[in-house]
Amino acid sequence: MKLQSTLELHVKEAVSTLFKAELESVEFQATRKEFAGDITVVVFPLLRVVKGNPAVIGEQIGQYLQDNVALVKGFNVVKGFLNIEIDDSYYVDFFNSIKDNESYGFANVKGDKAVMVEYSSPNTNKPLHLGHVRNVLLGYSVSEILKASGKKVYKTQIINDRGIHICKSMLAWQRFGNGETPESTGLKGDKLVGNYYVEFDRAYKTEISKLVDQGQTEDDAKKNAPILLEAQKMLRKWEAGDDEVVSLWKTMNQWVYDGFEETYKSIGVDFDAYYYESDTYLLGKEFIAEGLKTGVFFKKEDGSVWCDLTEDGLDEKIVLRSDGTAVYMTQDIGTAIQRLKDYPDVGGMVYTVGNEQDYHFKVLFLILKKLGFDWAENLYHLSYGMVDLPSGKMKSREGTVVDADDLIREMADTAEEISKELGKLDGYNEEEKKALYKTIGLGALKYFILKVDPKKRILFDPKESIDFQGNTGPFIQYTYARIQSILRKSENNNNVTLSAVEVSLHDKERELLKQLELFPEVIQNAASQHSPALIANYTYDLVKDFNSFYQNVSILGADSDSEKTFRVQLSKSVGQTIKNAFSVLGINVPERM
């Protein structure tokens, strides 16, 4: 924050001049509403280098600042807190510096090291569901926030396109599908394949019941069910490169890829690079061999290879089975290294994966450090909690998941229903209405999920998220549209540079300018903490301040032309900041509502 850094220099100068002492840092906080002031210096930490009564010390520093620093117009001391009043000229100068800047808050790319952000990473045996939606929204938003903070970013995913779960869908389609395709059924390919995953589970449970009736234990029946044995046989054929199995695998996977792309486009996210588990599952073995030589890994009597992490507070972790086959950890080690080969400018990676994998990533990052990769210091697990619905937990096998496409459609429908009740869309044709319903619905969904700290679990209620009041996406979108309406009525008088002589700031204007000044810092903090919630809640605070300004200060009916011009320009800058903030959350803002 520019004001804070400027004042810090002057406070240090004051302490040096008055008390012949040197400060390392100055602690600031927002001035409490009941006291005059724009920013507060906390005096108590200064007592480490300046001895005396904190209230007296505060008075002396405050007087020095008022006498020697042009931007300080007054001060008051409450116990150990020095409340500083900032001259209007500071805020007007700040405002003139940002008012025509459409990329306000965003930093230019600095440094030559990029960040790779992995998100989505679905299985190709089912459509994307609500759990994937939180993952995708978080990963995409963190990518955009990192870009806005000045980083070069590559967005990627690894698609889990191999394994027994994939073969289950393939086998069920062979048995029950009668050759149907996405074209012949009119279904998206991921939905068609997902239906057969559910079909497999249904048939599997039927066979288990029969075997139990014939006298097998349930555990034995689960292992011996013929359809499972057949799926395992299909997996072995795939691994051996059987032409027929591989051909079916390619066909059905392509159906799913096409379906995924349609969903990604609908939700408004994209990727720069794709990795496939079928290409990466053998990666990593060579590094295990290297690690054995250097003592990073050790071999047990059965031939399995492990990493001993007990001195690091973890346990022993297997990295190669006794038969020489890889585990997920081996593959993740190899994939991370491969990505750095493919993108040599990458200096760090962010993995967007649910919190059930917290331990896995602690181990992965530690092993990569032990293998000597310096970039392993810059790996981050963007861990997030589950998304629950009022109706309870979702299960893919049983077909009780909330499908992402259905959710997007339901959000648009709910937006339509509520908009009609409120009568907000007079003058729109049907096509414009449909587009707006989707903008509001998606905005509600994204904001509801992103405003929550990623680590927290979410109970998602579609109706609650689409509310035109409170901390919601539609409330912020509506405020943006209101600002655009003001600009349309303002006769375009919004490109004039004003001085503090022409404008005496109203308290509500000053509060709004203080909030605007925070935006670049909020972007940087959100990037360092990998938290879209900081952006979302900042935007809500900005909108609350704007609405308070709107209700207390006449914009188009101002007393003078200079006041009107300033207030219109101020509204425009607030609108631009809302738009910029929402853009890094992946949310669109409508021009009219």
What domains sit in the chain, N to C, each tagged with a CATH number? 2-86 (3.30.1360.70), 405-584 (1.10.730.10)
Contacts of 553 (CB under 8 A, 6+ apart): 506, 508, 509, 567
Dihedral angle computed from the Cα positions of residues 283, 286, 287 and 288, in that order, rounded to the nearest 10 degrees: 100
8 Å CB contact between 241 and 233: no
What pLDDT, on a 0 to 100 scale, did the predictor assign at position 396?
A: 41
Return d(Cα 469, Cα 576) in angstroms, integer. Answer: 21
What pLDDT, on a 0 to 100 scale, did the predictor assign at position 31?
A: 92
- 8-17, 341-350, 406-415, 492-501: least confidently modelled range: 492-501
Hey, what are 15's tokens? Answer: 């302490």
8 Å CB contact between 277 and 160: yes
Q: What SS3 class is residue 552?
A: helix
8 Å CB contact between 350 and 530: yes
DSSP strand pairing (72-78 vs 379-384): unpaired
Burial class (CB in 10 A: 0-12, 13-18, 19+), 562: middle
Which of 398, 197, 360, 157 is CA-nearest to residue 277? 157
What pLDDT, on a 0 to 100 scale, did the predictor assign at position 400?
A: 54
Q: What is the CA radius of gyration of the chain?
A: 30
pLDDT band at 387 (very low <50, low <70, confident <90, very high): confident
Q: Nearest 5°: phi and psi at 245?
A: -65, -45
What pLDDT, on a 0 to 100 scale, did the predictor assign at position 501?
A: 59
What pLDDT, on a 0 to 100 scale, did the predictor assign at position 393?
A: 47
DSSP strand pairing (305-308 vs 298-299): antiparallel
pTM: 0.91
Hey, what are 406's tokens? Answer: 């259905």
**pLDDT over 60 at 397, yes or no:** no
Return d(Cα 71, Cα 74) in angstroms, integer. Answer: 9
8 Å CB contact between 548 and 479: no
Return d(Cα 46, Cα 282) in angstroms, integer. Answer: 59
Q: Tokens 């997030």 — which residue?
A: 384
DSSP strand pairing (316-320 vs 305-308): antiparallel
CA–CA distances in Å: residue 390 to residues 347, 394, 458, 528: 41, 11, 10, 33
Q: What is the DSSP letter of 517?
A: H
Across residues 470-481, what is the average pLDDT? 94
Q: Where are the beta strands (DSSP E) in 25-149?
A: 28-29, 39-42, 72-78, 81-86, 114-118
Q: Alpha helix locations (H) across 352-398?
A: 358-370
Which of 327, 322, 330 is CA-nearest to residue 303? 322
- Tens-digit pLDDT profile for residues 33-80: 899 999 999 999 999 999 999 999 999 999 999 999 999 999 999 999
Which of 449, 564, 497 is CA-nearest to residue 133? 449
**pLDDT over 50 at 395, yes or no:** no
- Considering the chain, what is the average pLDDT of its residues? 92
Hey, what are 67's tokens? Answer: 């006498």
What pLDDT, on a 0 to 100 scale, did the predictor assign at position 389?
A: 75
Q: Where are the beta strands (DSSP E) in 298-448?
A: 298-299, 305-308, 316-320, 346-354, 379-384, 387-388
What pLDDT, on a 0 to 100 scale, did the predictor assign at position 152?
A: 96
Across residues 342-366, what is the average pLDDT? 96
Across residues 461-481, what is the average pLDDT? 89
Dihedral angle computed from the Cα positions of residues 345, 118, 320 and 295, in that order, rounded to the nearest 10 degrees: 40
What pLDDT, on a 0 to 100 scale, did the predictor assign at position 399?
A: 45
**How many percent of the chain have pLDDT more than 90?**
79
**Within 13 A of 574's CA, how many CA atoms are on the CB side?**
35
Q: What is the DSSP letter of 491?
A: T
**pLDDT over 70 at 496, yes or no:** no
Which of 100, 98, 2, 96 is CA-nearest to residue 500? 96
Q: What SS3 class is residue 459?
A: strand
- 9-13, 120-124, 155-159: least confidently modelled range: 120-124
pLDDT band at 468 (very low <50, low <70, confident <90, very high): confident
8 Å CB contact between 122 and 162: no
8 Å CB contact between 474 and 436: no
Across residues 253-271, what is the average pLDDT? 96
What pLDDT, on a 0 to 100 scale, did the predictor assign at position 316?
A: 95
